[in-house]
């Protein structure tokens, strides 16, 4: 298993600590003090604060606000992104995509219809800021990224494998490592960008392209995405396409929310979605 070394990631340990904190925060009647939260985590206050400050750059007290269930609604009020405006400022497929430098291309509809026949997909497990991550990629770029923290390793593997049933899969984490380092902003990354290779139906790719225009620390809605791709009535179909996004985090489906402020669903587990949103909000503040 490859380990991503960066200021934001020391294997999946920090995420696991944060995941336990979510349960504690949800079960509390009021905001938990640093001492109380650290005690519940079986850590000293200084150690607990050091972990969180290193992970996101803000204190645990501040971070709690981002982990609350009401944070999504606050994001819609304060950091809602109109996708047409995002596109106009260059946050598109060839520009600066959210907080990561990415470039992407999509498989042709004809090749997609073949179910991955004739394509070799390399895969490997990597530690990430959000727990254990399964990364897959073709010769052209990353085509799959999933998290196992909530759903388990076997489930994550089978989920990605069945998306391209006729492809040849080869375990080769070292081949993917330079792309993964760049994608997660690791200190030792030698590449300036991580290439993505979108494998999906034409409608799905339109939705994923729209997601790529949502900046880090901001959110949008399923209905906004539907309008931006010229099909405002296709909100349900957009939600399905968002859920079928095979490249979590890099194609930021976690930034799509319901108009009501609800989180909506998340393919890799809602605690992971909350962690992603909280992490980006804290980093934006820091």
Name residues whose C-beta falls within 8 Å of residue 86's C-beta, 6 or more positions apart in sequence: 92, 213, 214, 215
**Sign, Cα dihedral of 183, 22, 76, 50:** negative
Contact 212, 196 (CB under 8 A): no
Q: Reduced to 3 states, what is the DSSP secondary structure of residue 265?
A: coil
- For residues 10 and 191, give the distance between their C-alpha atoms in angstroms, rounded to a whole number: 20
Q: Is 143 a catalytic residue?
A: no
Return the closest-CA partner of residue 140 out of 114, 102, 110, 92.
102
For 32, residues 6+ apart whose C-beta sits below 8 A from its C-beta are 24, 25, 40, 64
- How far apart CA 130 and CA 141 sit, in angstroms, is 21
Catalytic residue among 9, 106, 219, 253: 253
Task: Please list the residues that pair with 256 across neighbouring strands.
Answer: 220
Mind telling me the catalytic residues?
253
């Amino acid at each position: 298993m490859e380990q991503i070394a960066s200021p934001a990631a020391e294997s999946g340990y920090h995420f696991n600590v944060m995941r336990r904190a979510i349960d504690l925060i949800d079960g509390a009647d009021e905001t938990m003090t640093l001492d109380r939260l650290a005690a519940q985590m079986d850590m000293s206050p200084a150690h607990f604060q050091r972990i969180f400050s290193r992970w996101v750059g803000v204190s645990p007290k501040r971070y709690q606000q981002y982990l609350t269930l009401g944070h999504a609604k606050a994001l819609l009020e304060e950091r809602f992104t109109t996708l047409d405006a995002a596109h106009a400022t260059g946050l598109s497929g060839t520009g600066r995509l959210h907080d990561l430098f990415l470039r992407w291309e999509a498989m042709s509809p004809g090749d997609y219809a073949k179910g991955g026949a004739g394509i070799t997909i390399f895969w490997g497990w990597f530690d990430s800021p959000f727990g254990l991550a399964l990364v897959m990629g073709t010769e052209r770029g990353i085509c799959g990224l999933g998290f196992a923290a909530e759903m388990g390793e076997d489930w994550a593997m089978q989920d990605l494998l069945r998306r391209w049933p006729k492809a040849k899969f080869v375990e080769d984490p070292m081949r993917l490592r330079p792309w993964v380092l760049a994608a997660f902003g690791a200190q030792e990354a030698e590449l300036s960008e991580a290439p993505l290779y979108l494998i999906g139906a034409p409608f799905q790719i339109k939705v994923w392209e729209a997601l790529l225009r949502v900046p880090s620390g901001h959110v949008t809605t399923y209905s906004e995405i539907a309008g931006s791709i010229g099909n405002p009535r296709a909100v349900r179909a957009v939600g399905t396409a968002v859920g079928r996004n095979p490249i979590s985090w890099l194609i930021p489906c976690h930034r799509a929310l319901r108009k009501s402020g609800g989180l909506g669903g998340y393919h890799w587990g809602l605690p992971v979605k909350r962690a992603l949103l909280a992490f980006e909000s804290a980093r934006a503040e820091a």
